[in-house]
């Protein structure tokens, strides 16, 4: 039993190391910030400066910046729980202050991410499947979000 728990601990550390390395390729990451095994950053836009995370933070959830626009700026000592998502397609984006803790399963999105008309939504889905996320504004709604310190 002890060997099994040791193997699981090593696996968690290795997975976290992989997630942290991948995150550094997609975002500007502050010192001592760590990523859990399930953490992901999808920076579809490709510009690292569009996602920034301050020092001493820990993420177990998912961040996404859309191809056409979006920004996520997170200050120091932030926590994002497992299964939580932060998505941005707004030019101003999402700003999160210091000492913010987000529980598991929380969605913070500055966009509805798709047209409201069902036919336009289906056409958008087909285009994404065929060509990837659009680099020009696809006509979806967005609005900036600010979450202050100590939330």
- In a 13 Å sphere around the CA of 24, the CA atoms on its Cβ side amount to 12
pLDDT tens string 92-115: 999 999 999 999 999 999 998 887
User: What percent of the chain lies above the pLDDT cut of 90?
Assistant: 56
Could you tell me the strand order of the sheet in which 94-96 lies?
Answer: 28-29, 51-53, 72-74, 94-96, 145-147
Provide φ and ψ at 57, rounded to 5°. Answer: -105, 165
75-97 pLDDT, tens digit per residue, is 999 999 999 999 999 999 999 99
From 3.30.1370, 2.160.10, 3.10.260, 1.10.10, which CATH number describes the 2-147 domain?
Answer: 2.160.10
* Domain range list for the chain: 2-147
């Amino acid at each position: 039993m002890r060997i099994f728990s040791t193997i699981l601990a090593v696996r968690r550390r290795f997975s976290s190391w992989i997630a942290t390395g991948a995150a550094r390729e997609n975002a500007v990451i502050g010192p001592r910030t760590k990523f859990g095994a399930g953490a992901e950053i999808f920076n579809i836009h490709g510009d690292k400066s569009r996602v920034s995370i301050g020092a001493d933070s820990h993420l177990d959830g998912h961040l996404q910046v859309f191809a056409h626009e979006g920004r996520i700026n997170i200050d120091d000592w932030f926590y994002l729980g497992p299964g939580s998502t932060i998505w941005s397609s707004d030019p101003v984006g999402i700003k999160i202050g210091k000492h913010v803790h987000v529980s598991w399963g929380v969605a913070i999105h500055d966009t509805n991410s798709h047209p409201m008309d069902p036919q336009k939504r289906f056409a958008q889905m087909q285009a994404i499947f065929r060509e990837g996320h659009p680099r020009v504004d696809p006509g979806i709604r967005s609005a900036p979000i600010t979450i202050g310190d100590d939330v």
